[in-house]
Every structure is written in C-alpha cells, then in structure tokens.
Amino acid sequence: MVHENPSDPAISELLRSVRRIAVVGLSPKPHRDSNLVARFLIEQGYDVVAVHPREERILGRPVYRRLSDVPGGVDLADVFRRGDALGEVVDDALEAHVPALWFQFNCVNELAAQRAATAGVRVVMDRCIMVDHRRLLGS
C-alpha cells in the first residue's frame, strides 16, 4: 500500500497548529539540510528540539537521544533519517505519543508510514517542511 500525504489545506493546518517541533537527526554542521531547516523553523517562531544520538548541544539547544527522552513531548517530529531507520523512529514516536511525523525528502519507508498512520499519527512523507511552509504559508 502506498502512503498518501495529506492535502495542502491539511498540511497548512498542521503547520499552523504545531508549536514544538523535534528535528530528528539534526546535524551540528551548518551546511547540512537538517541544520538549515531547523534554523528556518526557529526563525518562524517554532520551539525546535534537537534529537541526535551523540551531540550535547546543537544551535544552542540541549540535545535529546530519542523522542521519548524529550520532556513535555512535541507536536511534530521532523525526521532526517534514512528510510531503513524510519521503523525505529516510528517506534520511538509511538512510545512518546508524537501526534505527527514529517519524513523529509528521500526519507521513505512505506511500512513505517503505514504503521504510524494506523496508530493515528498524521504522516507527511518525502516532502520538505521548509519548502511546504514557504509555499503554503508564504514565509
């Protein structure tokens, strides 16, 4: 079964309604896409939480190892991981009760997306949150 992304109006509503976004796989390197997108999200006023297995601080923020380690939870997890790692991310997101997952460009795993969607998690896959934010919300 092929995952179908939400409609543009549904994505617009999602982007307007979330406040706290975890960036899973946030790189400390400024030239990496995850770092660029996280900086963009911060500039847009979102509370960005870093999730990375080895770093202590990224973009001046504390780093958590897993979504389930983030105190107070998050509204959405923006994921920069290879497709074969997305099942593990979904497991963590379900444990942490994350209501929405956004798998960035080239982050594709149909089975993981379906498992999350079946559990009631909103899933956007193979899209860039920064591109969609600019396109749909004009910033």
Q: Which CATH superfamily is domain 8-133 in?
A: NAD(P)-binding Rossmann-like Domain (3.40.50.720)
Nearest residue to 93 (alpha-carbon basis) of 22, 33, 4 = 22
How much is the mean pLDDT over the chain? 96
Amino acid of residue 126: D
**First CA to last CA across the chain, in angstroms?**
34
Q: Using alpha carbons only, what angle is made at residue 43 by residues 41 and 49, rounded to the nearest 5 degrees?
A: 45
Q: Per residue in 98-111, pLDDT tens?
A: 999 999 999 999 99
* Structure confidence at residue 44 as a pLDDT band (50, 70, 90): very high
Q: What are the structural domain ranges in the chain? A: 8-133
Q: Per residue in 14-28, pLDDT tens?
A: 999 999 999 999 999
Q: Per residue in 58-99, pLDDT tens?
A: 999 999 999 999 999 999 999 999 999 999 999 999 999 999
CA of residue 134 relative to chain centroid, distance? 16
pLDDT of the residue at 5: 95
pLDDT of the residue at 20: 98
Rounded to whole angstroms, the Cα distance separating 112 from 119 reads 11
**Token digits of residue 122:** 């909103």
Rounded to whole angstroms, the Cα distance separating 71 from 64 reads 9
Label residues 22-59 b or e (16+ Cβ within 10 Å = b): bbbbbbbeeeebbbebbebbbebebebbbbbeeeeebe
- What global pTM score does this model have? 0.96
